[in-house]
Amino acid sequence: MSLIPAVQKDEVLQRDFQSAVPAEGILLWWLGQSGFLIKSEYGTVLFDPYLSDSLTDKYRDTDKPHVRMTERAIKPSQLTGIDLVTSTHNHTDHLDAATLGPLIAANPSIKLVIPEANRAFVAKRLACDFAWPIGLSDGQSETVGAITIHAVPAAHNNVDRDQQGRCHYLGYIVQLGPNTIYHSGDTLMYDGMSEILRPFAVDLAILPINGMRPERRVSGNLFGDQAAQLAHQIGARMVVPCHYDMFSFNTESPDIFIDTCKMLGQPYRILGCGERFAFS
């Protein structure tokens, strides 16, 4: 199977990111799966990057092969000037040592935001100092330079908590000056979700659309129509879909997402891997 080509990749993408100047608003690049690179005059944020073939290698000779569908956008060591990187939960496509190791080495002052409930797991997987990551649970916030990040629950498939009541799965709301971005992480809908999110006045929502099918034997996400409906319910000015076209066993077409957004009058944008989008 031939891979879906990246719109930009490697040195071309690196130059585009380094040279682009966000005069107003933000610049956003989709890096595949749930990975998004955000650049603004207030700082740079990298959401949940997966920039390796670690899952394809791990499951190659199993009954659940992770066959890659889209080209890798860029080597993590090529991404410099990153202020903050996130992991919404412990699944490898959101906490990948093969991605985060080279990324951290290339950005010595980078900050990593994680669910506090996952601290021990993260420290072991990344072989990092136990105290180094910034840990959050839902309702908590942290400011890094001019970037403020708020944690909200995610349901993958449930809103799971540790014995101290801290969420294992999070979404993050990042404020970059006047711009507010919601990255849901992996999630289904849960009771009170819209009520939690609406007060943040989200400008740009980033939501998964690969859905949940029991035959895949993995935790599920929103389907495309549900993602469009959630964006509409919280009043997002724009929604961008993700978590599709990475692994052949766990993907969905964005068509139902597009159709539902059109029906609801919800502004949306479909991106190719490595494509830049200016939002203000």
102-132 confidence digits (pLDDT tens): 999 999 999 999 999 999 999 999 999 999 9
pLDDT digits (tens, 9 = 90+) for 173-227: 999 999 999 999 999 999 999 999 999 999 999 999 999 999 999 999 999 999 9
pLDDT band at 36 (very low <50, low <70, confident <90, very high): very high
Structural domain including 161 reads: 10-17+25-279
Residue 119 lies in a domain: yes
Q: Total structural domains in the chain?
A: 1
Which of 183, 159, 163, 164 lies closest to 173 in space, CA to CA? 183
pLDDT score, position 22: 87
pLDDT score, position 23: 80
Please compute the mean of the pLDDT values over residues 224-241 and round it to a whole number. 98
Answer whether residue 1 shows pLDDT above 70: no
Q: Return left, alpha or beta for 6; rule: phi > 0 is left, psi -120 to 50 is alpha, else beta.
A: beta
Burial class (CB in 10 A: 0-12, 13-18, 19+), 131: exposed
pLDDT score, position 259: 98
What is the CATH number for 190?
3.60.15.10
Dihedral sign of CA atoms 128, 68, 241, 269 in order? positive
pTM of the model: 0.97
- d(CA 228, CA 257) in angstroms, rounded, equals 6
Please compute the mean of the pLDDT values over residues 78-100 and round it to a whole number. 98
Answer whether residue 80 shows pLDDT above 70: yes
Residue 227 lies in a domain: yes
Residue 209 lies in a domain: yes
Residue 5 lies in a domain: no
- d(CA 102, CA 254) in angstroms, rounded, equals 32
Residue 223 lies in a domain: yes
CA separation, residue 280 to residues 27, 144, 178, 261 (Å)? 9, 22, 9, 20
Strand, coil or helix: 136: strand
Report cis status (omega within 30 of 0) of the bond before 157. yes
Residue 1 lies in a domain: no
Residue 166 lies in a domain: yes
pLDDT band at 280 (very low <50, low <70, confident <90, very high): confident
Residue 125 lies in a domain: yes
pLDDT score, position 113: 98
